[in-house]
Amino acid sequence: MLKHFLPDQHVQNIVDITPEMLVERGVKGIITDLDNTLVEWDRPEATPELIEWFTSIKEKGILITIVSNNTQHRVKSFSDPVGIPFIYSARKPMTKAFKRALKDMKLKNEQVVVIGDQLLTDVLGGNRLGLHTILVVPVASSDGFWTRFNRKIERIILSWMKRKGMLHWEE
- For the whole model, what pTM was predicted? 0.88
Q: What per-residue confidence (pLDDT) applies to 128? A: 96
DSSP 47-110: -HHHHHHHHHHHHTT-EEEEE-SS-HHHHHHHHHHHT--EE-S--TTSSHHHHHHHHHHT--GG
How far apart CA 66 and CA 64 sit, in angstroms, is: 7
- DSSP annotation of 120: I
Between 148 and 49, residue with greater pLDDT:
49
pLDDT by residue (tens digit) across 151-167?
A: 778 887 878 778 878 77
How far apart CA 90 and CA 74 sit, in angstroms, is: 13
SS3 content of the chain, % helix, strand, coil (to 5): 45, 15, 40
pLDDT by residue (tens digit) across 74-109?
A: 999 999 999 999 999 999 999 999 999 999 999 999
